[in-house]
Amino acid sequence: MHPSLSDLLGISSSLSSTVSSQQAPVEPFLKWPGGKRWLAKKVARFIAPRLQGRYFEPFLGGGAVFFALQPETAILSDINADLINVYVQVQQNYELIQQRLQTLPVSHDDYYRIRKEEPEDRLERAVRFLYLNRTAFGGMYRVNQEGKFNVPYGGGQRTPEILWRDGLLKSASAALQGVSFEVSDFESVIDQAGSGDVVYCDPTYTVVHETNNFIRYNESNFSWADQQRLA
């Protein structure tokens, strides 16, 4: 028998939350389109008293709500393998990532040189991802139909320095300890949830019409049919 909505939300004043009230707030280390860092604390306050089991976030992106909530048990996932790799590497190797980032020059030519690279080593892929995320125009993440990152250079004012200067990677790594990661479609992840668990879904923006200038990008990542399937 499937759990009821009240069971899934864990609405009971007699139950204690699995969210630690002692954790200091953690700022997301990624800039992400549609990120909810502006709303994350409010969402976390809504989730916290209802969370009695595991926290699932199947559209991870910048992870703002996870970092605001900092649950004791979390399964974070996304269909973007490079994104999940970044989280795994920050969880396990943030100091090495910082050291590598500090050696990379930031300029127009260096940006496009690094953008062309396709390292096979997982740590180097994470370093490249973070470098581009912090030096690309607007901190955007966008790929073309061949899966190639294609955001233009953001200018000299954008650098990765904030990642170590403000301790973003260090605090994120601490918050990510014990977290499980999956590269997966949302449906198989949500199907794992049961009574007392909370699933937070913040899917990619999509439109049903054909007049959006970014419809090709949207459709290749999260289609209107996916929206209906999620609903």
pLDDT tens digits, residue range 113-141? Answer: 999 999 999 999 999 999 999 999 988 88
Q: DSSP secondary-structure letter at 3?
A: P
Q: Residue 207's pLDDT is what?
A: 63
* Domain boundaries, given as residue ranges, for the chain: 80-180
Distance from C-alpha of 74 to C-alpha of 66, rounded to nearest angstrom: 8
Average pLDDT along the chain, 231 residues, taken 10 residues at a time: 41 41 80 90 96 97 97 96 97 98 97 97 98 93 87 93 96 98 96 97 73 48 86 92
Q: Residue 208's pLDDT is what?
A: 60
CB crowding 162-198: b at 16 or more within 10 Å, else e? ebbeebbbbbbbebbeebebbebebeebbeebeebbb
Q: In the CATH scheme, what is the homologous superfamily, with its name and number, of domain 80-180?
A: Adenine-specific Methyltransferase, Domain 2 (1.10.1020.10)
Local structure of 56: helix, strand or coil? strand
